[in-house]
Amino acid sequence: MQTLHLELQEGFDDDRVVARLNGVEFLSLDHVTTRMQTGFAAAGSTQAADGKAVLEVSLPASGQQASTEINLIQPLWAGVNAGPGKAIQFRISQAPFGYV
């Protein structure tokens, strides 16, 4: 089993965010808001079997949804950013993100 850390970063403003890994919901948060000092909004994590997996994040209020395939052979950190029009962007890292 490997751990996937999901970190909601820039662009959230009182949003509801739902995240699923291989179709299983593991994060559902209301009122997600980015703290502008740090560019960090909220975080969650889940575990899954080693191998390829599909991470899917949606913002139901704006109808935005995006997914990305990840290779979970070690702990991974997925940064999720909401760009213009709340378009969802992923940043996948093998190391924790840092915020200042």
Residues that bind other proteins (CB under 8 A): 10, 30, 36-40, 96-100
Taking the alpha carbons at both ends of the chain, their separation in whole angstroms is 31
CA–CA separation, 7 vs 13, rounded Å?
Answer: 15
DSSP state of 85: G
Phi and psi angles of residue 32, each rounded to the nearest 5 degrees, phi first: -75, 125
CB nearer to other proteins: pick between 38 and 71: 38
CB nearer to other proteins: pick between 20 and 79: 79
CB nearer to other proteins: pick between 1 and 100: 100
Minimum distance from CB of 49 to other proteins (Å)?
Answer: 26
